[in-house]
Structure 1
Amino acid sequence: MPNADLHLHTTSSDGTDTPTQIVRAAVDRGLQAIAITDHDVTSGLPEGVSAAKDYALEIIPGVELNTNWGEKRIHLLGYFMDVEEGELHDKLDWLVACRIDRARKMVEKLADMAMPLDWDSLMKIAGPGAICRPHIAWALVEAGHVKTLAEAFDRYIDRGRPAYVKRPLFPIEDAIRSIRNAGGAAVLAHPVLIGDDSCVPELALAGLAGIEALHPYHSEEDEAHYKALARRHGLVWTGGSDYHGWREARPFASRTTPMEQVEALRERARRG
């Protein structure tokens, strides 16, 4: 039965495949729908829609936002939004600007450690979308400062490392509201990383539409737990591979969403 992969990253953020390559992979796998969910940007959507126009493949507008709930960092997925809607569009622009500011500060820290990076070369690696830490890692490899992406993260740019810089987060209640106001549905991403379920009742009241129950980080027990949690709070459960290309632990379409769940999520978006 055709399914949908609702969690995919492209070269518009920190993936290594273009939207066109993602579409071709989806067609080859026989998927019925995909959502391009790049970090803080929707700039890959037009290319994806164009690449899919000759195929029976639905491209669902999507995004993944870094948010906070109190002291907890939570990734939030948005689906079916009008990406040109004013409030959401402005928030995404702000998040992209924050990413650029953060990258500049990280480059300055690296320079202080005798690992200079050329800013123009870094921006060329990042492309026109959102600049992410993997882009800095690739720049470090290209400059000969490290041998691998893993080394760049482990020694310098991962959380707690000497060149790491925090960036402003989007309060999750505000993010849910912005997605809903743009006609979309908000879904908790890979909830096992949150560490507990205490946020779910409150966020359900704030307009959360779903929980990503199927994810490469989740065990079978986790998947059953999050499906039940979603049902308990009247939410839709979803699934996606969180494919980035360069992260081999998350193969393309390794987790997918049945189309009846996609339709349930679409209905939640319609209801607002």
Structure 2
Amino acid sequence: MRALLADLKTDLVDLHSHSTASDGILSPAQLVSRAKSLGVTLMALTDHDTVDGVAQAQCAGEHAGITVVAGIEFSTLWGRRPIHILGLNIQPTSALLQRAIGLRQTLRCERAERIARQLHQCGFHGALEGACGLAGRAAPGRPHFARWLVEAGHVVDSARAFKRYLGTGRVGDVQVEWPQLAETIDTIHAAGGCAVLAHPLKYRLTRTQLQRLISDFLRSGGDALELLCGRQNPAQTKELSALITAGARAVQLPVPPSSLGSDFHQPGQAWRELGCVHLPQGVEPVWNLWHTLHRGLQSHPLPV
């Protein structure tokens, strides 16, 4: 099985993507269709704190000939810092997973109300209703508020919305008491999945802080790290790889496997397009950990 999985290094893989089940623009089925058109053969749907889109995505994958891995992107805390942990190859019906999702959905709704109140004080009325309308059945997040600010004519684009009102340190940057890192990893393991530290370079940590995060993640039972998240400078990838190695050695653990993904949310962002990144040569891929993936690959054989 290991040799079969290794063949995926030559195919397009994307293990980090979002749909309308959270803050993406495309439905799960549309997301899979786009992945198919771009040549992706293995993908994961990793919506924020929900698995609502997984069944639809996997059904679409069966018709398209793409293996769709059940995934989630959990909001969590490392100390007081919010970070994200991907759960890959999970069992969506896990009771513990569903309880963890329920808690986070409650926290997300409470945060949305607080963001709306903050925006109301800035003179932006109707933000909660607008964000909820854009979110549909999903819990509204900051990207939905950003889109509402654009559609209401308050800012020219979502980037400006985050820069002025929703980004770190801005009025809409509302802190949430997410569950802690170790608890989140345990939840993913209880659901039969692999815990992956998502986009380590996006937390704006110093090298020392990032190495400490990596060490704490691995010490807490984390399985892999997202070495590439969207297109990034090769020098950054090399630096992150070195920090992962140093972090593992600091806690006397083996260097973990690596994951990769686009963090796709919407079309028109070439740096986060589905299937836009590849693992470097010699890097052990996260799918080597997935003993249950073999059946999926047999039912969706790789192109020759």
TM-score by shorter chain over 0.5: yes
Which position in structure 2 is the counterpart of 1:60? 69
Instruction: Indicate which of 253, 256, 260 corresponds to 1:239.
Output: 260
Instruction: Indicate which of 198, 208, 211 corresponds to 1:189.
Output: 198
Q: Distance in 2 between matches of 1:246 and 1:108?
A: 31
Q: Distance in 1 between matches of 2:81 and 2:129?
A: 34
Question: Relative to 1, partners in 2 of residues 1:269 and 1:191: Cα closer, same or farther, differing over 3 Å?
Answer: farther
Which position in structure 1 is the counterpart of 2:216? 202
Cα offset, 1:223, TM superposition: 2.1
Which position in structure 2 is the counterpart of 1:250? 272
Which AA in structure 2 matches 1:57? I
Question: Relative to 1, partners in 2 of residues 1:170 and 1:257: Cα closer, same or farther, differing over 3 Å?
Answer: farther
Q: Distance in 2 between matches of 1:253 and 1:176?
A: 26
Instruction: Indicate which of 35, 44, 48 corresponds to 2:53.
Output: 44
Q: Distance in 2 between matches of 1:72 and 1:185?
A: 22
Question: Relative to 1, partners in 2 of residues 1:217 and 1:31: Cα closer, same or farther, differing over 3 Å?
Answer: closer
Which AA in structure 2 matches 1:173? A
**Residues 1:261 and 2:295 aligned together:** no
Q: Structure 1: which 5+ runs fail to align?
A: none
Which AA in structure 2 matches 1:140? L
Which position in structure 1 is the counterpart of 2:160? 151
* Deviation string, structure 1 residues 24-77 (Cα, Å, up to 9, x no partner): 121112222100111111111121112122122111011112222223332211
| Length-normalised TM-score, structure 2 | 0.80
Q: Distance in 1 between matches of 2:13 and 2:154?
A: 40
Compare 189-198 and 250-259 and name the one that shifted more: 250-259
Contact 1:79 1:184 in 2 (8 A): yes
Which AA in structure 2 matches 1:264? N
Q: Distance in 1 between matches of 2:66 and 2:284?
A: 16
Q: Distance in 2 between matches of 1:114 and 1:93?
A: 32
Q: Structure 2: which 5+ runs fail to align?
A: 1-9, 295-304
Question: What is the DSSP-based 3-state SS (H/G/I as helix, E as strand, rest coil) of the residue aligned with 1:73?
Answer: strand
Q: Distance in 2 between matches of 1:263 and 1:118?
A: 41
Question: Relative to 1, partners in 2 of residues 1:269 and 1:25: Cα closer, same or farther, differing over 3 Å?
Answer: closer
Compare 3-12 and 175-184 and name the one that shifted more: 3-12
Q: Distance in 2 between matches of 1:55 and 1:85?
A: 27
Identity %: 30
Q: Distance in 2 between matches of 1:152 and 1:9?
A: 20
Compare 225-234 and 146-155 and name the one that shifted more: 225-234
Question: Relative to 1, partners in 2 of residues 1:189 and 1:118: Cα closer, same or farther, differing over 3 Å?
Answer: closer
Compare 136-145 and 78-87 and name the one that shifted more: 136-145
Which AA in structure 1 matches 2:223? A
Instruction: Indicate which of 215, 219, 235 corresponds to 1:221.
Output: 235
Which position in structure 2 is the counterpart of 1:164? 173
Q: Distance in 2 between matches of 1:176 and 1:192?
A: 20
Question: Relative to 1, partners in 2 of residues 1:46 and 1:268: Cα closer, same or farther, differing over 3 Å?
Answer: closer
| Length-normalised TM-score, structure 1 | 0.89
Contact 2:134 2:144 in 1 (8 A): yes
Compare 197-206 and 42-51 and name the one that shifted more: 197-206
Contact 1:82 1:183 in 2 (8 A): yes
Cα offset, 1:226, TM superposition: 3.8
Compare 212-221 and 151-160 and name the one that shifted more: 212-221
Cα offset, 1:260, TM superposition: 7.3
Which position in structure 1 is the counterpart of 2:30? 21
Aligned length: 270
Contact 1:14 1:244 in 2 (8 A): yes
* Deviation string, structure 1 residues 136-174 (Cα, Å, up to 9, x no partner): 111222223333222222222222112332122221110
Which position in structure 2 is the counterpart of 1:116? 125
Which AA in structure 2 matches 1:133? R
